[in-house]
Copies of this chain bind each other. A is one copy, B any other.
Amino acid sequence: MKIFELNESSVRSYCRSFPVVFKQARGAELISRDGRHYIDFLAGAGTLNYGHNHPVLKQALLDYIEQDGLTHGLDMYSEAKEAFLETFNRLILEPRGMGEYLMQFTGPTGANAVEAALKLARKVTGRQSILSFTNGFHGCTLGALAATGNQHHRGGAGVPLGEVARMPYANYFGDKVNTIAMIDKLLDDPSSGIDKPAAVIVEVVQGEGGLNVASAEWMRKLDKLCRKHEMLLIVDDIQAGCGRTGSFFSFEEMGIRPDMITLSKSLSGYGLPFAMVLLRKELDQWKPGEHNGTFRGNNHAFVTATAAIEHFWRDDSFAQSVRTKGKRIAERMQKIVRRHGPDSLFVKGRGMMIGISCPDGELATSICRKAFEQGLVIETSGAHGEVVKCLCPLTIEDAQIEKALDILDHAFAAALSEHQANQAS
């Protein structure tokens, strides 16, 4: 690993938790250079919902490359893009009554999609402020970073991050405090100091923020609040979307109608850089090229994304399997909680975006370290890194789930006993 240490900036991060060199990956497994197999409960931080190198997507990609399909074409028309547009519209949007949305292909990162959505919201409304939430994560470029809560990232900006007002997320002040009513009061009050916002940006489940979950009721109230105050509603579904919560979008069946939706991470299905903003037609006030970028509309990603949608979203069976596996994982986690700390641990999250909250970040880190030693790649999230977060591929096999949870169970046991020993001494 000397080459990395000698040549790569110290900004590198995940490699510090998993200090091995990976060579190959298949499904829910990562394989290191020395041949060790790891179960992947990180899944590219939500990028690998269909697992590593899924054979169907792989074949589609190989075929496309073999035939010299257009790889890079800026935002010119390509057959690959056409197929994606048609397929996404037919299998995702139309069946969900969302035929009114247009697709914008931004630079192929989630942050870029967020930047585009915030720009468009400001352009359309003529207002400058954005409401974003405590513990929200939306990316690290300056526009997206202003909406992100995390001080570790915000502190890297080097300039003040403006034009964003921070609001408390669902249950931020406990489940007895109605945070929507609070926001409503602030927006109704012409002397509150909260300027009329262009938009609200929200994650339905906060991934980086620690698997905080907004209820359908809270989301409906937020949607209503947006209509009342003429703010646009932007759902950032970059981590929670593409099936992670048991439906393609995280907000399905909640009865809400976002003005924009940002997608990235698992959208290509294969881990390829790709991002998109879905926007309601009447908001499409973009001038040609007004928001641009060299890699907007990655053709390789169009190919794998189209294959993924055709393969996984023709009917509800995949989504159903996600819900079933989610329950299985949750149940195993509840057992861990009951066994190791019914008073101090608890399960958080929704669908296959779940984890166990620990009393502090040190303990959670120690658990992940021990799990890794036993062959499980898993990470923490949350404001203090206190949540052990399970983001395994949605395609994971039951046996792999069992094995991974066994490892996790042992890791909790080992870390907690070490923890108690430390406290005793």
**Cα–Cα, bound, A22→B46 (Å):** 32
Q: Are A134 and B9 neighbours in the complex by a CB distance under 8 Å? A: no
Q: Which residues from chain B contact A156 at a C-beta distance below 8 Å?
A: 119, 123, 286-287, 290-291
Q: Are B158 and A119 neighbours in the complex by a CB distance under 8 Å? A: yes
Q: Are A14 and B298 neighbours in the complex by a CB distance under 8 Å? A: no
Comparing A213-221, A265-273, A352-360, the segment that makes contact with chain B is: A265-273
**Cα–Cα, bound, A6→B102 (Å):** 8
Interface mask (A174-196 → B, CB under 8 Å = 1, otherwise 0): 00010000100110011111111
**Cα–Cα, bound, A165→B160 (Å):** 12
Can you give 12 contacting A-B residue pairs, CB < 8 Å? A8-B104, A14-B289, A23-B79, A71-B270, A119-B158, A134-B189, A140-B292, A143-B143, A151-B190, A191-B383, A265-B294, A273-B295
Q: Which residues from chain B contact A1 at a C-beta distance below 8 Å?
A: 77
User: Smallest CB–CB gap between A136 and chain B, Å?
Assistant: 7
Q: Are B162 and A110 neighbours in the complex by a CB distance under 8 Å? A: no
User: Smallest CB–CB gap between A328 and chain B, Å?
Assistant: 25
Closest to A89 in B: B7
Q: Which residues from chain B contact A18 at a C-beta distance below 8 Å?
A: 76-77
Q: Are A74 and B44 neighbours in the complex by a CB distance under 8 Å? A: yes
Binding site for B on A (CB under 8 A): 1, 3-4, 6-16, 18-26, 30, 33, 42, 44-48, 52-53, 58, 61-62, 65-79, 81-82, 85-86, 88-89, 102-105, 107-112, 115, 118-119, 121-123, 128-129, 132-136, 139-144, 146, 148-166, 168, 172-173, 177, 182, 185-186, 189-196, 198, 209-210, 264-265, 270-273, 277, 279, 284, 286-295, 298, 300, 382-384
Q: Which residues from chain B contact A133 at a C-beta distance below 8 Å?
A: 193
Q: Are B141 and A383 neighbours in the complex by a CB distance under 8 Å? A: no
A154's partner among B13, B150, B195 (CB-CB below 8 A) is B195
Interface of A is mostly: loop
**Cα–Cα, bound, A121→B177 (Å):** 33
Closest to A381 in B: B191
Q: Which residues from chain B contact A69 at a C-beta distance below 8 Å?
A: 23-24
A163's partner among B61, B103, B159 (CB-CB below 8 A) is B159
Q: Are B383 and A24 neighbours in the complex by a CB distance under 8 Å? A: no
Closest to A177 in B: B177
Q: Are B152 and A287 neighbours in the complex by a CB distance under 8 Å? A: yes
Identical copies of this chain, number: 4
Closest to A141 in B: B141
Q: Are A8 and B103 neighbours in the complex by a CB distance under 8 Å? A: yes
State whether A71 and B53 are in contact (beta carbons under 8 Å apart), knowing that A22-B78, A273-B295 are contacts in the complex: yes
A82's partner among B19, B21, B142, B148 (CB-CB below 8 A) is B21
**Cα–Cα, bound, A271→B162 (Å):** 34
Q: Are B162 and A77 neighbours in the complex by a CB distance under 8 Å? A: no
Closest to A108 in B: B273
- Name the residue among A14, A26, A110, A185 with the largest chain B CB count within 10 angstroms: A14
A9's partner among B24, B70, B104, B164 (CB-CB below 8 A) is B104
**Cα–Cα, bound, A289→B182 (Å):** 29
Q: Which residues from chain B contact A8 at a C-beta distance below 8 Å?
A: 81, 85, 102-105
Closest to A122 in B: B158
**Cα–Cα, bound, A208→B381 (Å):** 41
Q: Which residues from chain B contact A45 at a C-beta distance below 8 Å?
A: 74, 294
**Cα–Cα, bound, A190→B294 (Å):** 21
State whether A383 and B190 are in contact (beta carbons under 8 Å apart), knowing that A25-B70, A68-B24 are contacts in the complex: yes
In addition to A8-B105, A13-B289, A107-B140, 16 A-B residue pairs with Cβ atoms within 8 Å of each other are A7-B85, A7-B102, A20-B77, A22-B70, A72-B270, A107-B141, A108-B108, A115-B141, A122-B158, A134-B191, A135-B189, A149-B192, A151-B191, A153-B292, A166-B192, A192-B383
Closest to A26 in B: B68
A109's partner among B107, B118, B172, B270 (CB-CB below 8 A) is B107
Q: Are B75 and A13 neighbours in the complex by a CB distance under 8 Å? A: yes
